[in-house]
Chains A and B, each alone.
Chain A
């Protein structure tokens, strides 16, 4: 067996680390900076060992200055480097939002095409670890509102390793959202897994009765739901969006045109969400293909609570996906 097909068992966290190691080893312009990425080994242990392997020039611990070090990443990217900025959680990224929106997303346009910003920002997102209302939100949909940046949400080992590679080659800013409940997920990956495209959604399970359109941690809940539904004779197609901006309309619409029903599962809040955007696009583009209204399963519109039962009740679950699909199929058979 050659290296190209040899599989290795690892976690999502380890796959993310392999992606960082690939990047640092491959390109001397790449460096990682953020809070606790070096000596601590990363808040979620993603960058553990990289300081020892690549040294303090390439793996840089920063002070708790999200706005300054994110802006510094923008300048360094414009200055010829390929920085990876790690922000500990999506809630902390709000401290850097000025630089992300007013500079990273804007400079190319504002300068009349003179300056692109080849910056990658990684951050943890999502509820499920009882981290409560200032560490656990899913704001990737917000970021997807902003023209000028790309927003990706790897849900698989191959994507969390390979999306970083492609993102670093992109001339424009790419935000990578890693759901923190996925870090312990185990799976198998080709030893030398390489870059993956960041432009297309992927159909992960084919089906004929309904399209479940989702991303990140909700993908796995949707796949579990599809298993359950199959036992009951309902065939669900599951789409991993992978990239939230720009959205891959062709894959979404192609699926809905085959299944004639669409359920969007999104861990963001419902109002003004990425699920709302997808629903609107389905209505605009394939309205006459629909046999039932488009439905959405989103987070409850509350700050994420601490207590486990409340937290779990606030976000979409496999059970609620199953129940929603059954209702959609049965009431609009």
Chain B
């Protein structure tokens, strides 16, 4: 097991702008989503990625458009980082027909065929076997593609996690496992859920190549993901990356956060992945305050555009309620 942490590589300006913009877009898009939740424009469950942006943004740098992504229920960030259209995501959360799933899925079930983005899985750990299946299909069809599967520390307590790791290693499937370890399964701290709270060795014990990265450092995540994606793409079997991260906000909009202290949250906030990455870029004189201001304006316009798009969206006619239960075309 490798344990790669801080890197000191120089940041290229375009690269820095791209990473920062993506992380900012997720942060601002979700801040707006929370507002819209309070305004009752968005309903159901809404799980924010605030604090974890570096994970999705770093990982997606390592993937090609042909690769597949299987996501969690806290997946707005994963979807935006993958390039799923912000308008379509916002419209989906409004429940509008113009949403990426015509309003059938909502916040927890974002899907996009064009981006090969497969959920939006709200059964914790439920995406793991799906990812294995995509990888198996690729392997059997001779396609050199990677299936990237995101899941949280909560999923590592599910039996399916162990079943999936074993099968992926046994059949050398091209899966890039991305553990987003934010230390809490909803409100249960990892120490209350695992006899051995160190997760990466559990993957390693199944014969899966494993590494741990600082999930608050987008460059560290990217570097690990590039290593992992290449390993997988070259036919070496699965690769497992534990990204150590933290969720700044509540689990969902219904969470009173009784299970952790303000001091703990504040401590992690000091390691904000966006602020720290911008500071790094500024130290290296790659980006300036003016760049950040411009990015903020640009991102604000995109978020406003998404809200306007969702507001202008239409409701799918109730007559279509039973569509998409079975396929509309059958051979016989």
Contact = CB atoms under 8 A, between A and B. Distances in A.
B130 A75 contact: yes
B105 A71 contact: no
Contacts of B135: 75
Nearest to B316: A112
Given A70-B129, A108-B324, A148-B326, A76 B104 contact: no
A65 B126 CA distance: 14
Interface stretch (A98-106, A183-191, A256-264, A317-325): A98-106
B130 A113 contact: no
B134 A110 contact: no
A61 to B, nearest CB: 10
A77 B163 contact: no
A57 B109 CA distance: 33
Interface stretch (A164-172, A210-218, A292-300): A164-172
Contact of B137 (A67, A80, A114): A80
B236 interface: no
Interface string A124-149: 00000000000000000000000110
B327 A171 contact: yes
Interface in A50-96: 57, 62-63, 65, 67-81, 83
B141 interface: yes
B105 A111 contact: yes
Contacts of A197: 332
A31 interface: yes
Given A65-B163, A110-B105, A112-B111, A76 B325 contact: no
B111 A114 contact: yes
Interface in B88-104: 99-104
B131 interface: yes
A42 interface: no
> Which of B109, B133, B325 has the most chain A CB atoms closer than 10 A to its own CB?
B133
Contacts of A63: 163, 166-167, 170
A195 interface: yes
Contact of B325 (A68, A75, A80, A148): A148
B138 interface: yes
Given A103-B126, A171-B327, A79 B113 contact: no
A133 to B, nearest CB: 23
Given A75-B131, A79-B138, A110 B126 contact: no
Contact of A110 (B104, B133, B327): B104
A76 B136 contact: yes
A65 B167 CA distance: 9
Interface residues of B, number: 50
Interface string B62-104: 0000001010000000000000000000000000000111111
A306 interface: no
Given A63-B163, A73-B133, A195 B109 contact: no
A65 B70 CA distance: 20
B273 to A, nearest CB: 30
B132 A71 contact: yes
A78 B111 contact: no
B237 to A, nearest CB: 15
**Chain B interface secondary structure, helix, strand, loop or mixed?**
mixed
A179 interface: no
Interface centre among B118, B138, B140, B329 (most CB of A within 10 A): B140
Interface string B298-332: 00000000000000000000000001111111111
B323 A113 contact: yes
B208 interface: no
A185 to B, nearest CB: 27
Given A103-B126, A113-B102, A114-B101, A68 B109 contact: no
Nearest to A58: B140
A79 B123 CA distance: 21
A80 B135 CA distance: 11
Given A67-B163, A112-B99, A172-B326, 6 more contacts: A57-B140, A68-B167, A79-B68, A79-B136, A109-B104, A169-B332
- Which 10 A-B residue pairs are closest in the complex by CB-CB distance? A75-B133, A71-B129, A79-B137, A112-B102, A68-B163, A112-B101, A65-B163, A171-B327, A111-B111, A76-B133
28 contacts: A31-B140, A65-B163, A67-B159, A68-B166, A70-B129, A71-B130, A72-B136, A75-B135, A76-B136, A76-B140, A79-B138, A83-B133, A102-B123, A102-B126, A103-B126, A107-B119, A108-B326, A109-B325, A110-B119, A111-B104, A112-B101, A112-B103, A112-B104, A113-B102, A113-B323, A115-B118, A195-B332, A197-B332
Interface of A: 31, 57, 62-63, 65, 67-81, 83, 98-99, 102-103, 107-116, 147-148, 150, 166, 169-172, 195, 197
Interface of B: 68, 70, 99-105, 109, 111-113, 118-121, 123, 126, 128-138, 140-141, 147, 159-160, 163-164, 166-167, 170, 323-332
